A and B are shown apart, each in its own frame.
Chain A
Amino acid sequence: MATSIVIVGVGGQGVLTLARWIGEAALAEGYDVRIAEVHGLSQRGGSVEVHVRFGKEVYAPIVEEGGADFVVALEALEAVRAYRYLRPGAVLLVNKRVIQPPGRWYDLKELIEAIKRSWPRSYVVPCYDAALELGSALYENSVMLGFLSQLLGLPMPSSLDERNQAAFRKGMQLFQEAAAADQ
């Protein structure tokens, strides 16, 4: 059985890179991997969606609606948009950040509350805040990667540079805190 992950966010947040890191880590563990990327028009600031599947044997490169084991959102509104991919029992990971869409203003707290209420199997991860502490919003994807790696049982990909490694470790630490709080 393959593990199916849908990763979403807004153009420029490093959704593609996050997907490639997962793929790299899975390949290093000896798994077969498929990453369905997006390029071109879909990269111009709009919603971005990348699919990752890994396992002993993988054929289909994309995840169907209702078929994701994990939905990983680097932005809260995009998390809501990706609900259609959740399969029963799937885990939803949401970065605590909203990027306002054109012409609308969403309250981050209310969004997060709505997500927690409607999908109890969700983790709200403060990747954005942690990344800013590390010096730049650019690290929010590697913080998320660190958190997610604990759920997937995947190692840290070897291509991470020093600062992304620090962000990865921060993500791991956030997971441990979240797990402790769950108990």
Chain B
Amino acid sequence: MRLLLLGNEAIAYGALSGGVAVATAYPGTPSTEIIETLEEFKDRFVHWATNEKVALELAYGAALAGARALTAMKHVGLNVAADPLHSAAYTGVVGGLLVVSADDPWMYSSQNEQDTRWYGLQSYIPVLEPGDPAEAYKMAKTAFELSERLRHPVLMRSVTRVSHVRAPVELEPPAPPRWGRFTRDTKRFTLVPANARERKKELVEKWEKIIDVAGEYMTAEGSGDVVIVTSGVAYNYVKEAVKRLKIEAVVVKLGMSVPVPRKITELAKSVVVVEEGDPVVELQLRSMGVATKGKLEGFFPKYGELDVGKVAAGLAKALDIPYAPPQPVKAPLEPAPRPPALCPGCPHMGTFYILRVATSGLNPVWSGDIGCYSLGINMGQQDLITHMGSSVGLGSGIAVAGGQFVVATVGDSTFYHAVLPQLIDVVTRQIPILIVVMDNAYTAMTGGQPSPSKAVPVEKITEALGLPTFVIDPVDIKKSIDVVKRAVEVVKTGKPAVVVSRRPCTLIATRKARRAGLQLPKYRVDPDKCTGCGLCYNLLKCSAISKRPDKKAYVDPALCVGCGMCAEVCPFGAFVVEGRREQWLELWRQA
């Protein structure tokens, strides 16, 4: 069967054809669709874990028991899972363990550009690097066998332009899941120093073997004096750039880019290296005594993602041949930016407005976090966003450093992922911080995966910890402002407090309403009442509302979802509703 598949779907189907039994992940762009695809297969254990460490532990444990297991995450998720990852190299595995980590060069949806392949070197785990969906399918399918043959975990490094590229893939049917039962092997699985030392010796020996195994994944095509070494998605740009420049070259593709195979040194003493991300292959080649022209001396850019033009320009420079790059056309005007914004009617929009009013005069530090609410940056209400858990983690540090009033805004999924342990510290040291959990019941930023918030309500946890907790509905703006003011008073006395702002993600709720055949109410502006004060488009910042040339508000009827927050904030009663709201608000609350 030949289908147009996303790279992530291809990885999922590859794992199925490879007999995966246990598949876990925490969502993260660009890796999310791997588990989303597997979720349909009820004969396997497929699970959205609370974070990447938990996800890897489940898969690693299953593999120790002999099952075939996969875990998937975005590149920064591997940082969270790094502790068990390193141990997995020491103990090795019994069943095949495939750890997929998807990098995001040029950070389309990420806070950094880290290159997963470093983890391969650091943890002594080989890294497969597919270049397109078809190859990702094959590599995922055979990775379990490889892992079992080496008795070692295997990493797969994907990138946005593999995971989120759709291309034809030839599919084979799924293989039955391979389950396992744990057999004791204490010397191997208990990494107390005496055992760990033995394991380290073994690991170093194993690595030597893996350096040869990497040769099985190396291919060379073409002929000529020039040798170009490439891996992963970069191979595709090399193929087209070589053609464009009309050069004769041997193109060496490393399917396993960590470790670089020993046999490459037989091919050439001097090569051009083209790789996506950091110079991981290039540095390995240099350590093997091969002279390279790659990223280190700037033949290719050290940041961002490659394309055919950048690779052609780099090759031309490295080989000293002329190349005239295409000249971009000048646009007739510089269009105003259209930065990502909260969806119209997003509950986060209400929460930010409520918080702004309830803390007015306090000039709080807005300690932010990663999730849709990071878009509160558009309202000036995210002063820092660094990693999952930065809200409460860094916010607590700021609060103890100098006594400023800190508002930490965090989504529900991030709350369970990273904030739970931080809460304990907040309680034990009574750190004065206002923690606002924006509970939209989903992991919205990554496309609406489930979050534990319904099964394990936030207030049950915070109340059990003795934290004063206030629950609000963000569309109920006026009422909620008064409630949040009470929470603010608690923090002013030098104690922590929690606000849970609860209403499901609007994007998901409107989808459900559409399926239920419910007609959404719509708001429009009465131009006689609107004074052009701008509260709705400047402070609430609903993306369905724009400012007319006469400063009056305009609601785009195609975008309005009838949340009614504009009517709550307008002091002049200028918003007029058409249609009924009660049924919609109730369906939304349950979404």
A binds B: yes
Q: Say if the beta carbon of A40 comes within 8 Å of chain B.
A: yes
Residues of A within 8 Å of B375, CB to CB, are 44
Residues of B within 8 Å of A47, CB to CB, are 338
Q: How far is the CB of B230 from chain A (nearest CB, A)?
A: 11
Q: Say if the beta carbon of A34 comes within 8 Å of chain B.
A: yes
Number of interface residues of B (CB under 8 A): 61
Contact A39 B32 (CB under 8 A): yes
Q: Chain B 228-247 against A: per-residue CB contact (8 Å), 1 yes, 0 no?
A: 00000101110110000000
- Counting chain A residues whose Cβ lies within 8 A of the other chain, the interface size class is 35 or more
Q: How far is the CB of A56 from chain B (nearest CB, A)?
A: 13
Q: Chain A 64-108 against B: per-residue CB contact (8 Å), 1 yes, 0 no?
A: 111100000000011011011111000000000001111111100
Would you list 21 pairs from A and B whose C-beta atoms are within 8 A, ordered by A residue?
Answer: A27-B4, A33-B168, A35-B167, A40-B29, A40-B30, A46-B338, A46-B341, A59-B240, A60-B239, A60-B307, A61-B132, A67-B307, A67-B308, A67-B309, A67-B326, A77-B335, A87-B326, A100-B546, A102-B339, A114-B333, A115-B332
Q: Say if the beta carbon of A183 comes within 8 Å of chain B.
A: no
B interface: dominant SS: loop
Contact A102 B341 (CB under 8 A): yes
A85 to B337 CA separation, bound complex (whole angstroms)? 17
* Given A46-B341, A64-B309: A35 touches B4 (CB 8 Å cut-off): yes
Q: Say if the beta carbon of A10 comes within 8 Å of chain B.
A: yes
Q: A39-B30, A102-B336 are in contact. List 10 more A-B contacts (CB 8 A).
A: A34-B166, A39-B447, A41-B109, A60-B308, A64-B307, A66-B329, A78-B338, A80-B332, A100-B556, A119-B329
Residues of A within 8 Å of B546, CB to CB, are 100, 102, 105
Q: How far is the CB of A111 from chain B (nearest CB, A)?
A: 8
The one of A42, A66, A137 in contact with B328, judged by C-beta atoms closer than 8 angstroms, is A66
Contact A45 B343 (CB under 8 A): yes
A102 to B342 CA separation, bound complex (whole angstroms)? 12
Question: Which residue of B is nearest A35, CB measured?
Answer: B166
A10 to B4 CA separation, bound complex (whole angstroms)? 24
Find the residue from B109, B165, B166, B327 having the highest chain A CB count within 10 A: B166
Find the residue from B30, B167, B549, B556 having the highest chain A CB count within 10 A: B167
Q: Say if the beta carbon of A24 comes within 8 Å of chain B.
A: yes
The one of A12, A40, A102 in contact with B541, judged by C-beta atoms closer than 8 angstroms, is A102
Contact A65 B132 (CB under 8 A): no
Contact B165 A34 (CB under 8 A): yes
Question: Which residue of B is nearest A138, CB measured?
Answer: B558
Residues of A within 8 Å of B466, CB to CB, are none
Q: Say if the beta carbon of A160 comes within 8 Å of chain B.
A: no
* Given A33-B168, A64-B307, A80-B331: A105 touches B343 (CB 8 Å cut-off): no
Q: Say if the beta carbon of A178 comes within 8 Å of chain B.
A: no
Q: Chain B 298-319 against A: per-residue CB contact (8 Å), 1 yes, 0 no?
A: 0000000101111000000000
Q: Say if the beta carbon of B263 comes within 8 Å of chain A.
A: no
Q: How far is the CB of A172 from chain B (nearest CB, A)?
A: 23
* Given A10-B338, A46-B338, A118-B332: A33 touches B29 (CB 8 Å cut-off): no
Q: Chain B 109-143 against A: per-residue CB contact (8 Å), 1 yes, 0 no?
A: 10000000000000000000000100000000000
* Pair count A-B, CB < 8 A: 171
Residues of B within 8 Å of A105, CB to CB, are 546-549
Contact B558 A137 (CB under 8 A): yes
Q: Say if the beta carbon of B446 comes within 8 Å of chain A.
A: yes
Contact A40 B233 (CB under 8 A): no
* Given A33-B167, A105-B548: A77 touches B308 (CB 8 Å cut-off): no
A60 to B239 CA separation, bound complex (whole angstroms)? 8
Q: Say if the beta carbon of B69 comes within 8 Å of chain A.
A: no
Residues of B within 8 Å of A77, CB to CB, are 335-336, 338
Residues of B within 8 Å of A137, CB to CB, are 558
Q: Say if the beta carbon of A169 comes within 8 Å of chain B.
A: no
Contact A38 B164 (CB under 8 A): yes
Q: Say if the beta carbon of B325 comes within 8 Å of chain A.
A: yes
Q: How far is the CB of A45 from chain B (nearest CB, A)?
A: 5
User: Which 9 residue pairs of A and B lie closest in terms of their CB atoms, listed nearest first?
Assistant: A66-B326, A40-B29, A40-B109, A83-B331, A59-B236, A64-B309, A118-B332, A35-B166, A46-B340
A170 to B253 CA separation, bound complex (whole angstroms)? 47
A40 to B107 CA separation, bound complex (whole angstroms)? 11
A99 to B557 CA separation, bound complex (whole angstroms)? 12
A83 to B326 CA separation, bound complex (whole angstroms)? 13
A23 to B4 CA separation, bound complex (whole angstroms)? 8
Contact B161 A36 (CB under 8 A): yes
Residues of B within 8 Å of A86, CB to CB, are 328-329
A102 to B378 CA separation, bound complex (whole angstroms)? 10
Contact B330 A83 (CB under 8 A): yes
Q: Say if the beta carbon of A37 comes within 8 Å of chain B.
A: yes
Q: How far is the CB of B310 from chain A (nearest CB, A)?
A: 7
Residues of A within 8 Å of B329, CB to CB, are 66, 83-84, 86, 119
Contact B309 A102 (CB under 8 A): no
Q: Which of B390-427 contact A (CB under 8 A)?
A: none
A87 to B309 CA separation, bound complex (whole angstroms)? 13
The one of A44, A64, A87 in contact with B341, judged by C-beta atoms closer than 8 angstroms, is A44
Contact B331 A84 (CB under 8 A): yes
* Given A81-B335, A83-B330, A100-B546: A42 touches B165 (CB 8 Å cut-off): no
Contact A59 B237 (CB under 8 A): yes
Q: Which of A10-62 contact B (CB under 8 A)?
A: 10-12, 20, 23-24, 27, 32-47, 59-62
Contact A62 B445 (CB under 8 A): no
A73 to B465 CA separation, bound complex (whole angstroms)? 53
